């Protein structure tokens, strides 16, 4: 084993992608780091004139099995996982000294698959040591800096410059998150390839996907609904579409502090009402009781027996609430096919924060659309300042509108939805749909309010709302014709509010 010093900084370099490596190594060397590298990385740096300590020199073991095993050794992982430099006083006699920077990128497994590699070639591109090094370094971000990709070298170089060879804890923690996410994607690519070969998918098998001919699985931490704050108390097993609608329903009612009920059908709200128990339920049903047939009913408060009796008299798929009285639970338990669930709101929201979509290895992720700070800062672009009742109605319409597919229009009074139009290619079509829905139920829109999830590109939308009896409209704004639309709203006697922030649910 090489002579070691507990006090000296060390950087472990083991990379597939050599781009930027020489420049990074030069900065590390100039800041006093001992460069430790394996295999091809060590050779590349030596050819560039660097003095390099080989991994084998540190461990006292040669690389074996054609390089398959080289960094999987206590000297390396002890050097990464040791909590502080002082703790290494107890391990120096074992040849274990601190490693402070870990720069590793993984074998190109995804590229091998994309190029049509066969089983043997694909297996050879499954990295074992790399993810192990990355995860160890990321776990110990309090002391160790980990960088999993050359794209982050510029940030590392700036940190080393500012910190005179050291990095900030904020940077180390952020790189740890980047690293675990990179390992997750890498593992997902490998698991997906193996599952495609075997024709199986890990997770809880569902009856089918969006359509009966499509297989589907549910993946949960530990394989249990409880891990995300849900518990099923009765009814049939959940289907793929059930779960999609269940998530949408809980997130709708979670946006309200007041007791409320929301009804979801095909991920869109088809009814919403403020009020505890049966009052909120009845308010939610007056908007579109036909669409509520077979829907998901969500509450943000306890369900009592009176509410359970009304629910039991309807055809529905799911009932979800934070709790049920014993009498309500017993009544709904007689509905053998209805899925009855309790939800721990806090745990559910933490577990489902963020939105993602995936098409094979192509994945999208975005932050959760959380909060409504714009409701404290809106601008009245036309008409009178809304009174307390109008403000309450506008705020409710705005929050419900967030949960429908765009283009979204929601018309409400101060307590419940009256008409909704979602998912149309034209915003004015959504306006017409919302007005027509209210008309079918014989609901009077005189004095109602409306929310739009996007700007009105032309005045025609607000003109149709005004003609239906709407007296106030809330929208994000952002159109080059905002002034023209606001002027039209003012001439029609509408209060027209612009928030400057949109909640567009694509």
Render pLDDT for 103-137 as a digit per residue (tens, 0 to 9): 999 988 888 888 888 888 888 888 888 999 999 99
What string of H, E and C letters represents the secondary structure of 212-250?
A: CCCCCEECCHHHCHHHHCEEEEECCCCCHHHHHHHHHHH
Q: Among candidates 143, 141, 124, 156, which has minimal Cα distance to 13?
A: 156
CATH of domain 229-351: 3.40.140.20
Q: Is 209 exposed, middle or buried (0-12, 13-18, 19+ CB in 10 A)?
A: middle
Catalytic member of 18, 31, 77, 266:
266
With respect to CATH, is domain 10-197 assigned 3.40.50.720? no
Instruction: Assess whether 266 carries a catalytic annotation.
Output: yes
Asked if 73 is an active-site residue, the reply is: no
23 C-beta neighbours (distance < 10 Å), count: 12
CB 175 within 8 A of CB 152: yes
Parse the chain into domains and list their residue ranges: 10-197, 229-351, 376-498
Q: Give the phi and the psi of residue 203 in degrees, each rounded to 5.
A: 135, 180
Matching CATH topology for 10-197 and 229-351? no
Active-site annotation holder among 18, 31, 77, 139: 139
The stretch 88-105 carries a mean pLDDT of 89
Q: Is residue 293 scored above 60 in pLDDT? A: yes
pLDDT tens figures, 221-249:
877 899 999 999 989 999 999 999 999 99
Query: Rounded CA gap, 375 and 165, in Å?
Result: 46
pLDDT at 461: 96
State how far the Cα of 356 lies from the Cα of 130, in Å rounded to an integer.
Answer: 26
- Give me the CATH topology for the region 376-498: Cytidine Deaminase; domain 2 (3.40.140)
Contact 68, 125 (CB under 8 A): no
Whole-number pLDDT of residue 1: 45
């Amino acid at each position: 084993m090489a002579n070691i010093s507990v006090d000296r900084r060390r950087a472990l370099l083991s990379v597939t992608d050599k781009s930027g490596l020489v420049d990074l190594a030069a900065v590390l060397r100039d800041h006093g780091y001992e460069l430790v590298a394996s295999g091809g990385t060590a050779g590349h740096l030596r050819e560039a004139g660097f003095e390099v300590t080989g991994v084998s020199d540190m461990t006292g073991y040669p690389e074996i099995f054609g390089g398959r095993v080289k960094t999987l050794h206590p000297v390396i992982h002890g050097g990464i996982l040791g909590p502080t430099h002082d703790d290494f006083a107890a391990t120096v006699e074992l040849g274990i000294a601190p490693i402070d920077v870990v720069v590793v990128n993984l074998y190109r497994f995804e590229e091998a698959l994309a190029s049509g590699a066969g089983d043997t070639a694909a297996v050879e591109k499954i990295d074992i040591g790399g993810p192990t090094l990355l995860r160890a370094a990321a776990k110990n971000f309090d002391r160790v800096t980990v960088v999993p990709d050359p794209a982050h070298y510029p940030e590392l170089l700036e940190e080393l410059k500012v910190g005179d060879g050291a990095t900030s804890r904020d940077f180390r923690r952020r790189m740890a998150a980047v690293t675990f996410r990179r390992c997750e994607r890498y593992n997902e690519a490998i698991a997906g390839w193996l599952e495609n070969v075997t024709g199986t998918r890990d997770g809880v098998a569902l009856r089918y996907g969006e359509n009966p001919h499509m297989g589907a699985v549910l993946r949960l931490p530990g394989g249990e609904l409880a891990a995300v704050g849900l518990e099923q108390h009765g009814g049939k097993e959940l289907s793929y579409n059930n779960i999609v609608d269940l998530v949408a329903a809980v997130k709708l009612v979670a946006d309200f502090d007041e007791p409320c009920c929301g009804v979801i059908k095909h991920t869109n709200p088809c009814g919403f009402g403020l009020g505890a128990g049966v009052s909120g339920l009845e308010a939610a049903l007056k908007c579109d009781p036909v669409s509520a047939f077979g829907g998901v009913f969500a509450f943000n408060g306890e369900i009592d027996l009176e509410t359970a009796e009304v629910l039991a008299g309807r055809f529905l798929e799911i009932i979800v609430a934070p709790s049920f009285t014993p009498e309500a639970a017993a009544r709904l338990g007689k509905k053998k096919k209805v899925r009855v669930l309790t939800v721990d709101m806090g745990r559910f929201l933490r577990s489902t924060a963020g939105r993602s979509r995936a098409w094979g290895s192509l994945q999208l992720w975005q932050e959760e659309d959380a909060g409504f700070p714009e409701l404290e800062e809106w601008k009245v672009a036309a008409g009178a300042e809304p009174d307390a009742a109008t403000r309450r109605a506008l705020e409710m319409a705005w929050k419900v509108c967030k949960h429908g597919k765009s283009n979204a229009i929601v018309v409400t009074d101060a307590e419940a939805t009256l008409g909704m139009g979602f998912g149309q290619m034209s915003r004015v079509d959504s306006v017409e749909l919302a007005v027509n829905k209210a008309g079918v139920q014989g609901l009077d829109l005189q004095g109602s309010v409306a929310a739009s999830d996007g700007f009105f590109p032309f005045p025609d939308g607000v003109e149709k709302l005004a003609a239906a009896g709407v007296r106030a409209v809330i929208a994000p704004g952002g159109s080059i014709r905002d002034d023209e639309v606001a002027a039209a709203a003012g001439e029609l006697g509408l209060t027209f509010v612009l928030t400057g922030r949109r909640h567009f649910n694509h």
